[in-house]
Homo-oligomer: A and B are copies of this chain.
Amino acid sequence: MQEKSTRTPNADRRAMMRKKLMDAARSLFVEKGFAATSTPEIVKSAQVTRGALYHHFEDKEDLFRAVVVAEAKELRQAIEVATKGMIDDPLGTGSKGYFEAMSIQGRAQLLLIDGPAVLGIQEMDQIDAGGGRAALRTGLATANSDLSDEELEAVTKVLSAGYDRAALAIAQGEAAKPYEQAMAALVRATIS
């Protein structure tokens, strides 16, 4: 019998290793923040060596970027599932979906606090592209046509910031209902 029959294709090894590193890194980034998390810690938690990390990622920031991008993707998918087929009241449904999706442990911290600080606002905006903000904009645009592009963009950003702040507060343990009501009222006021 063959002892060493553990032949693993490169594609699989790559995917598994990246996942191991990103999972370990996510936990530590959420727990201690980006700066306070060292690469020795990460690889120890992932039970690999720093060689693996620097083979798959350019540097620590690049690993953080990968974690954030994956998180944003999961967020988009969760919202998409929650609002699937909801043609009536897309804004209300999207809101609830967003709050639920953002209640995942550490997600708000990663996407709203550490992400902008480490990667910059510009890149975070780009990573979030197609996320909740785009849906919000189209929702506002269809419900309220008499807004210039500039105004629509401004209102969208500002309301989106409100959603983010609400999600952050909820993630920190505050009650969700007042924030849901507040955002609903603001959106209603905007489109009417």
CB distance from A59 to the nearest CB of B (A): 12
Residues of B near A179 (CB, < 8 A) are: 154, 157-158
Taking CB atoms and an 8 Å cut-off, the chain A residues in 150-180 that contact chain B are 150-151, 153-155, 157-162, 164-166, 168-169, 172, 175, 178-179
Residue of B nearest to A166 (CB): B158
Can you list, as one digit per residue, whether each of A173-189 has a CB less than 8 Å from chain B (1) or not (0)? 00100110111011001
State how many copies of this chain the complex holds.
Answer: 2
The docked-state distance in angstroms from the alpha carbon of A165 to that of B165 is 10
Is there an interface contact between B157 and A159, defined as CB atoms closer than 8 Å?
Answer: no
A130 near B: Cβ within 8 Å?
no
**B190–A186 contact, CB under 8 A?**
yes
